[in-house]
A = this chain, B = another copy of it.
């Protein structure tokens, strides 16, 4: 054995940080200094908290892939090359073990689940560290920094941003918070601290699968037990929930729907195609199916539409002790137990008592004597906003829903009201601004279409107004060519201003690091869109003016003015929220009008100035 040689020279100066993308493509030399190939991947042992690199994969000159044990063969490791401790002909190749994954094949550029941050992210690099005898994974780099590094732009960016004293933070996810989406590690015993996706709170699982594509979702879903699957679907957005249920087998889907709260189940069944819905209902227990059918009969956005039929109703003749005994038998769900409703034989609501009243009353009291009879109820046809108002005003945890004759048919719980309020607030803002709320930075393409779609409408309106002017108002024809585009400019400036305000509002909310990254990404996209819209509008102006037989100089000068104005105004409006965020200004009630007025005035000034200046030159 050659154990006397300094086999691992690279361990001197241990603690060095190495990025995986820097190792990829490095040369591998044998102990004679002969090249045997270039590094194509690294295998890690997934069972450790900081997984050790177990083997090195490389491709030889004839493109053949090899794997070699790291511990056994690697003698020296430097940023430039890897030297082995054996001559090429003495190397014995190894194979990937079940507990191993490959960094390039399974991690790099793949989507993974960050179980701590509770989101789906893309791995841009893997950070490694030399630790005694081994090279170990510190974490997956999922930040902007990783992208810059691979574009060789890390240093230039750092230097530039250091001028404004900003440093792009590194965004690292430790291995024990990573769950792979495309490689199933469920057969491997991971370290106890290693969080798997299906061990999270159902609300978190719902959040995370909401960020995945359908194929990944179904795969994740297969690992969930029935109860967690039901809870996860309950917490998912309606579209995601419907899609998941449709993708599941009928048996499993109906089992899941059966144990879900009936209101959530009804929401999902209501969104399914008729045939599918009927099949699932027929597979369910009679009682559960009947409840869902009944709930489906109520109008959306009413108390009936958001209520659940899971409530605890008892007769008034029980004592407190008997009631507690009954509850122990029934073991109702968390949200549906906080009030106990007292009903007569026909189901008419007679009184209500809270679990608290039950606990603090002496055991032999009759609930008839402790119950509250001045009950706040909502009607089954009441609008959901009224229900929200009632629950919010009287600080209730649930409101009983009654039919005309006072019969108790369901309850609306406060968590449903929170959803209603989020929904209504988003709707209000959407109506006000004509854009989706919250601004989504992740679905770039659809957003681009939406935004340019809107601007086209405005473009069209401006052009129609201009055309009418041009055709029907001969006295103004001398001004018409210039005036024609003023409405367009003002409208686009106003839109840019509105988007700025929306971004400013959003920057006030939530986690600042995430918001900052969102803003940064949006800024880039908005700038691109502004340029696109500007060019489009300029071109349109040119074409229109030519059709109206204006001199080419006029057409050109106005077209250029329109394009440049829109690009400039767009850029200013886009950068504004960033600047305000930097300055840490608190927006006041007046922000909206001030920004939109300012942008309009600015847009007009730029346009007229350009029109005059360019016109004068030509």
Contacts and interface: CB of A to CB of B under 8 A. Distances in A.
Interface of A: 201, 203, 207, 235, 324, 327-328, 331-332, 334-335, 337-338, 354-356, 358-360, 376, 383, 385-386, 389, 391-395, 397, 414-415, 417-419, 421-422, 424-425, 427-436, 454, 457-458, 461-462, 464-465, 468-469, 472-473, 475-476, 479, 482-483, 486-487, 490-491, 494-495, 498, 501-502, 504-505, 509-511, 587-594, 596-598, 600-601, 604-605, 608-609, 611-612, 615-616
B589 A430 contact: yes
Given A395-B415, A432-B498, 4 more contacts: A431-B592, A432-B502, A457-B594, A495-B593
Contacts of A601: 461-462, 464-465, 487
A502 B591 CA distance: 17
B392 A415 contact: yes
B395 A203 contact: yes
Contacts of A458: 593, 597
A395 B203 CA distance: 9
Nearest to A460: B597
Contacts of A397: 338, 397, 414
Contacts of A600: 461, 487, 490-491
Contacts of A509: 385, 424
Please give me the 9 A-B residue pairs with the lowest Cβ-Cβ distance, nearest first. A434-B593, A425-B425, A395-B415, A465-B601, A392-B418, A475-B612, A434-B592, A430-B589, A331-B360
Contacts of A615: 475
Contacts of A337: 355-356, 359
A328 B421 contact: no
User: How many copies of this chain sit in the oligomeric assembly?
Assistant: 2
Contacts of A462: 601
A605 B468 CA distance: 8
Contacts of A594: 434, 457
B483 A609 contact: no
A301 to B, nearest CB: 10
A431 B587 contact: yes
A116 to B, nearest CB: 14
Contacts of A495: 593
A63 B476 CA distance: 71
A266 to B, nearest CB: 18
Contacts of A596: 494
A359 B494 CA distance: 59
B432 A359 contact: no
Nearest to A598: B461
25 contacts: A203-B395, A207-B393, A334-B354, A334-B356, A383-B510, A385-B509, A385-B510, A392-B415, A392-B418, A425-B428, A429-B432, A432-B432, A432-B433, A432-B498, A432-B502, A434-B589, A461-B600, A465-B601, A465-B605, A472-B609, A476-B611, A483-B486, A487-B490, A487-B604, A490-B490
Nearest to A397: B397
Interface centre among A415, A589, A590, A611 (most CB of B within 10 A): A589
B386 A428 contact: no
Contacts of A472: 609
A433 B334 CA distance: 41
Given A428-B425, A501-B431, A597-B491, A418 B417 contact: yes
A383 B462 CA distance: 43
Contact of A605 (B419, B469, B479, B587): B469
A320 to B, nearest CB: 11
